[in-house]
Amino acid sequence: MGHLLVAHTFEVNLSSYPGTFSYMDRFSAKLFQKIAKSSQGNVVISPLSVHALLGMIYAASAGDTLRELQQVGEFGKNPTDVALDFQRLVKVKDNQQGAELAIAMRVYYNQQLAGINPRYEQFAKIHYNASTVPVDMSNGEETATKINSWVADSTRNKIQNLVSPDSITSEVQAILVNAVYFKGIWAKDFPTIATHPAEFHHTDGRTSQVDMMYNKDFFRLAYLPELDATALELAYKDSATSMLILLPNRHDGLADLEQQLARPEFDLNRIALRLRSQIVEVSLPKFRIEFKQEMNEPLKELGLHEMFSASSQVINLLDQPVHVTQIMQKAFIDVGEEGTEASAATFAMIEFRSFSPPKPKFVANRPFVFVIRTPSSVLFVGHVEDPGLK
Over the chain, what is the mean pLDDT?
Answer: 83
Q: What is the dihedral of CA 390, 340, 377, 100, to 10 degrees?
A: -130
* φ/ψ of residue 270, rounded to 5: -70, -35
Maximal CA-CA distance, the chain: 66
The 8-class DSSP code of residue 74 comes to: T
> Does residue 80 have a pLDDT over 90?
no
| Candidate from 4-13, 17-26, 230-239 with smallest mean pLDDT | 4-13
The SS3 call for residue 48 is helix
The whole-number pLDDT of residue 239 equals 65
- Beta partners for 235? 242
What architecture is domain 192-285+353-381? Roll (2.30)
d(CA 267, CA 255): 18
The larger pLDDT score, comparing residue 94 to residue 305, is at 305
What architecture is domain 22-185+289-350? 2-Layer Sandwich (3.30)
Mean pLDDT of 247-271: 88
The whole-number pLDDT of residue 15 equals 34
Domain coordinates of the chain in residue numbers?
A: 22-185+289-350, 192-285+353-381
pLDDT tens for 260-299 read 888 877 778 888 899 999 999 999 999 999 898 889 999 9
> Does residue 387 have a pLDDT over 90?
yes
- Look up residue 92 and give its amino acid: V
d(CA 382, CA 347): 19
Rg (CA), the chain: 21
List of E strands, 46-160: 100-110, 133-135
d(CA 143, CA 169): 10
Per-residue burial over 82-98, b = 16 or more CB atoms within 10 Å of its CB, e = otherwise: bbebbeebbbeeeeeeb
The sign of the CA dihedral 135, 137, 142, 143 is positive
